[in-house]
Structure 1
């Protein structure tokens, strides 16, 4: 599991590097060259501009609408990823038994463990790598939209509600909301698992703080994007993992009441 996590993080890091991070401060224009710019960032920038023009030049409203469009477009991938994650979680007790059965560290035993683990996956129709593929497909789209917001010059010249899109929120409302919604979204995603994984429990608190720090220093347009994206993910996660979340809440309430009786 740790090896898969490290491999996934390496893929994401490589993708971020190859996705044009060196061009972060360069405006996106029709003359911007390269596959990344021509087929991902510039079309997304044009979509934001098109929606803004439709709504009388409101780039703030355009960011909200395009964020929702993109989130809806990748929703099937998120559902597939969640289903595969649930299937893998359901197999954890059997995988634990296999690890206990083949606890020896010699090469032959470990090879036998891998063979029986793969047989377990196949018998239940689970692909351990299937959960990574939707994430790999989503990342260029989300990073591309992030670039489109930052590199579209017209966005910097407009305001929305009480803030300028090209400058940080002066009263820090968006950064705080971004941090709070990040916490809620992660809390829902980790329902029933955070207590079993100390690293995940730690990230539950670290990520919101990091988002707040970034949002305080970044243009408010990005904070708006994070808030809208988080709110969508909260609703999405609640509907996809609703029964699992309720079960975790019931188990927690039962545990608390049991502790009080003692």
Structure 2
């Protein structure tokens, strides 16, 4: 039997062992013969590399020259992951249920529009969306400050009417309540302020602020795959919590600075405002562990929002800016700061008065 020259020249009817896969009729199968494969004529030229044993490397017949083994390619986890995450497109968040006509849905649509239209990384997308939302609320903030400035000369009268209303409610004197309400409306008319828009102004800003908060929270907790790559090296993944509480601590510090600036810019009842600011200072410190459990993207929104409010408040303290928007310039006051002990005493007094009112009402019902 003629021996084959090499493995590549084996006929199709033969197996890899070198003998026929079909037996001739009436003849036993021949015993396999041992042989050593001889090199083909075309591989014996001087330009060809020497033969390498099959066990050492794959022959060109098994792995063509155009295929490079994967182990020889450069490998990078970051690059491989980035190439597998497609950029966000218009309508992707709506398909995921993260965009719609609710306040969080509108916030998601805003962030999607910024990210897709500008190509900004998500770190800067959240910052840009937060600043844009604060700019939308700027006219309402200016209007609220204008109304507060107009009511500032009438604050003693408004405080007296407020106490009169509380006494009327305590005694259930409906006529006194209506009389005090009419007098309060007259004060607003004298100041040139519409009472209903003045009271509704905070509720207009609330949906935008909470909508952005819960919108960013939903994107971070889903999590949206694109948020795994923020675009900055010091904060690569916006879907994980900050293990060092850096952003929550900075947010608490910025919040206290913002509260200090707001205390001096307010033209309303400064004592009541000071008690509220002290309460917010305590809340800002207590909330550090809570905010530390949130994703980094949400903490980035909170910090950006606080810094934007701080910049806005500081700008509206400038006399030239206040005159431009028709806001009276802040008078110089020497009001003594309210301590935390005074705020605690004020809170205890409030609860004690409310308890006495409740007891009086309970006694009236018995009789």
Tell me if TM exceeds 0.5. Answer: yes
- The one of 194, 214, 218 aligned to 2:294: 218
Tell me, in whole angstroms, the C-alpha distance in 2 between the residues paired with 1:194 and 1:155: 47
Q: In 2, Cα distance between the equivalents of 1:39 and 1:84?
A: 29
Structure 2 distance, partners of 1:194, 1:101, is: 17
- 2:214 matched residue in structure 1: 147
- Contact 2:251–2:302 (8 Å) recurs in 1: yes
- Does residue 162 of structure 1 match 2:234? yes
SS in 2 for 1:169: coil
Q: CA deviation at 1:184?
A: 1.5
- 1:112 to 2:195 alignment: no
Q: 1:203-243: CA deviations, max 9, x gaps?
A: 23123124423321101111111111111111111222446
Distance between the aligned counterparts of 1:208 and 1:101, measured in 2?
34
| Residues 136, 95 of structure 1: alpha-carbon distance in 2 compared, 3 angstrom cutoff | closer
Please state whether the residue corresponding to 2:131 is helix, strand or coil: helix
C-alpha separation between the residues in 2 aligned to 1:110 and 1:229? 40
Name the counterpart of 2:285: 209
TM-score normalised to structure 1 length: 0.70
In the other structure, the counterpart of 2:110 is 47
CA–CA distance in structure 2, aligned partners of residues 78 and 32 of structure 1: 32
Q: Distance in 2 between matches of 1:54 and 1:231?
A: 25
- Deviation of residue 174 (structure 1)? 0.8
In 1, distance between residues paired with 2:249 and 2:182? 48
Write the distance in 2 (CA, Å) between the matches of 1:149 and 1:225.
7
C-alpha distance in 2 between matches for 1:245 and 1:212:
36
What does residue 188 of structure 1 align with? 261
Q: What CA distance in whole angstroms lies between the structure 1 residues aligned with 2:150 and 2:144? A: 10
Higher relative contact order (CA 8 A, sep 6+): 1
CA distance, structure 2, for counterparts of residue 100 and residue 150 of structure 1: 41
State yes or no: 1:251 paired with 2:334: yes
Asked whether the equivalents of residues 179 and 212 of structure 1 are also in contact (C-alpha less than 8 Å), the reply is yes
CA deviations on 1:25-52 (whole Å, 9 max, x unpaired) are xx9542639xx83454344324323433
Q: For 1:190, what is the secondary structure of its paired residue?
A: helix
Q: Distance in 1 between matches of 2:143 and 2:310?
A: 17
Q: 1:177 aligns with which of 229, 250, 255?
A: 250
Query: Distance in 2 between the 1:75 and 1:151 partners?
Result: 25
Alignment length (residue pairs): 224
1:81 — aligned with what?
144
Question: Between Structure 1 and Structure 2, which shows a larger proportion of helix residues?
Answer: 1
Q: Which moved more, 1:231-240 or 1:86-95?
A: 86-95
Gaps of 5+ in 2: 1-91, 320-327, 337-367
For the pair shown, the structure with the greater C-alpha radius of gyration is 2
Aligned pair partner of 2:97 in 16, 32, 56:
32
The residue aligned with 1:238 is: 314
Residue of structure 2 in register with 1:7 after alignment: none
RMSD: 3.3
